[in-house]
C-alpha cells in the first residue's frame, strides 16, 4: 500500500471492539482539545456495532464531549431507519439513543424515494456543515470503515462507476448484501480524512485482507482508501489476520 498503514491485531472480536472504542475516544479527545470539535463518519454492517455499544458505556460515555461531537454516515442502505438493514437505525439503537448528543450533531444520510435526491441532499449537508467552497473536500477527523469479502468498502463495490467519482462527495449506487440502492461517500472524501480506521473481523475476511495489504495490483475498492493526508489504521482480529505473515502479528 502507498501510505504505510498501521496494523493492530487483537485476539478476538470483543478485544477488537474495545480497542476500536478506545481509538474513537482518543481521536475525539484529541480533535476537541485541538479545535473544539470532533467530526466522525461511521460505517454500517455488523463489525462496528460492538464498538458503538461500548462507546455508549463507561469509561467512554462520560469521557467523550458528545456536545462537541458530530456523527455522519459513510454510507446508507435506502431503507427506512426502522428497517433492520438501516445503518443509521443500527447506530441509533446501539449508540445514538444512549448518549447525550444533541440532535443537531447527528447527521444521518437521508432516505428518499429517489436515491439521487438523497445523495445530492447529503452532499449539500456536507458542503454546508464544513463550509466548503467549490472544489473543496470535507476533512473528517475520523472515518471508520469496514470491508467485504469482495474487497468493497463503504458502498463502493468492485467494478462500479462510483469508484472513479472525482467531483461528487456522495453518490447513489446499487449493490452489495443486501442488494439495495445505497448512498455512499466517495473516495476523494474518504481519502481526505485526518484518520481512517478499518475494522475487520472474522476468518471469512482473511484472504481478502491478505490481498488488500500485500498485493497492490489487486485494486480492490478498499485499497484505494489511502488517507493520503492522514493516518491509516487497520484494526483486525486474530481470525481475520490469520493469513498475514507472522511479522504482522503484534
Binding site residues, ligand 6PG, CB under 6 A: 43-47, 74-75, 87, 146-148, 152-155, 176
DSSP string, 126-170: HHHHTT--TT-----SEEEE---TTS-BTTB-TT-GGGG--S-SE
Residue 166 CB, nearest approach to ligand 6PG (Å):
21
Nearer to ligand 6PG, 32 or 219 (CB): 219
Nearer to ligand 6PG, 49 or 60 (CB): 49
Residue 191 CB, nearest approach to ligand 6PG (Å):
16
Residue 74 CB, nearest approach to ligand 6PG (Å):
6
Residue 39 CB, nearest approach to ligand 6PG (Å):
18
Range list of β-strands (E), 11-50: 38-42
Residue 208 CB, nearest approach to ligand 6PG (Å):
11
Nearer to ligand 6PG, 68 or 243 (CB): 243
Phi, psi at residue 171, to the nearest 5°? Answer: -135, 165
Grid cell listed for 80: 427506512
In angstroms, rounded to a whole number, what is the distance separating the alpha carbons of residues 189 and 167? 10
Nearer to ligand 6PG, 105 or 155 (CB): 155
Nearer to ligand 6PG, 14 or 67 (CB): 14
Phi, psi at residue 197, to the nearest 5°? Answer: -120, 115
Among 5, 9, 82, residue whose Cα is nearest residue 246: 9
Instruction: Give the helix/strand (H/E) hosting 110.
Output: none
Amino acid at each position: 500500500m502507498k501510505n504505510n498503514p498501521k496494523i493492530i491485531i487483537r485476539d478476538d472480536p470483543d478485544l477488537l471492539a474495545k480497542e476500536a472504542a478506545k481509538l474513537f475516544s482518543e481521536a475525539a479527545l484529541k480533535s476537541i482539545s485541538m479545535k473544539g470539535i470532533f467530526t466522525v463518519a461511521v460505517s454500517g454492517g455488523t463489525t462496528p456495532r460492538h464498538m458503538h455499544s461500548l462507546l455508549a458505556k463507561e469509561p467512554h460515555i462520560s469521557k467523550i464531549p458528545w456536545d462537541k461531537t458530530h456523527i455522519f454516515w459513510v454510507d446508507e442502505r435506502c431503507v427506512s431507519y426502522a428497517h433492520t438493514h438501516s445503518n443509521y437505525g443500527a447506530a441509533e439503537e446501539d449508540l445514538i439513543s444512549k448518549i447525550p448528543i444533541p440532535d443537531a450533531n447527528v447527521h444521518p444520510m437521508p432516505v428518499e424515494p429517489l436515491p439521487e435526491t438523497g445523495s445530492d441532499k447529503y452532499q449539500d449537508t456536507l458542503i454546508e456543515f464544513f463550509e466548503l467552497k467549490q472544489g473543496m473536500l470535507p476533512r473528517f477527523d475520523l472515518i471508520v470503515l469496514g470491508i467485504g469479502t469482495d474487497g468493497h468498502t463503504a458502498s463502493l463495490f468492485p467494478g462500479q462507476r462510483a469508484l472513479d467519482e472525482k467531483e461528487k462527495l456522495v453518490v447513489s449506487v446499487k449493490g452489495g448484501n443486501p442488494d439495495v440502492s445505497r448512498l455512499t461517500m466517495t473516495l476523494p472524501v474518504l481519502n481526505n480524512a485526518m484518520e481512517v480506521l478499518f475494522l475487520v473481523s472474522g476468518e471469512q475476511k482473511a484472504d481478502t485482507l491478505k490481498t488488500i495489504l500485500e498485493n497492490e495490483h489487486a485494486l480492490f475498492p478498499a485499497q484505494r482508501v489511502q488517507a493520503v493526508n492522514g493516518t491509516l489504521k487497520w484494526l483486525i482480529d486474530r481470525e481475520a489476520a490469520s493469513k498475514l505473515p507472522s511479522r504482522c502479528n503484534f
